[in-house]
Amino acid sequence: MTTRVRVGRQVEDFLRALAPEPRRALWRGLKGLAKGTGDLRQLDGRLAPYWRLRVGRMRVVFAIKAAVGERQVLCFYAGYRATIYELVAQLLASGMIEEVRAL
């Protein structure tokens, strides 16, 4: 089964705001998602349906969906460890993150 990684607008904006070396490290981490490599962990509590990728102090929250002959990984939010989990929980509860539903 092939894996297709899709990156949401917020993740793209976060990547553009990074300095070159952290940007390269995060891109390597995102590319590794297609192979299932990296520091991956399923979240718990209110964020239980989602996963996170850890790259240094940065985190990417993503959802995994299986489609016919393909697995899709939608990376919908990226940020630093200090704030990302609470912020994502609030955005999901308020319905402000729509990209997860599009997957």
Q: Which CATH class is domain 2-102?
A: alpha beta
Edge to edge, the sheet with strand 51-55 lists 2-7, 70-80, 58-67, 51-55, 39-42
Angle value at C-alpha 54, between 92 and 12, nearest 5 degrees: 60
The yes-or-no verdict on residue 103 having pLDDT over 70 is no
Q: Is the pLDDT of residue 100 over 70?
A: no
CB atoms within 10 A of CB 39: 12
Q: Which of 18-22, 61-65, 99-103 has the lowest mean pLDDT?
A: 99-103
Per-residue confidence at 21, pLDDT binned at 50, 70, 90? Answer: very high
More confident site: 70 or 97: 70
Element (H or E) spanning 65, and its range? strand 58-67
pLDDT greater than 90 at residue 80: yes
Q: For the whole model, what pTM was predicted?
A: 0.87
Would you list the domain boundaries of the chain?
A: 2-102
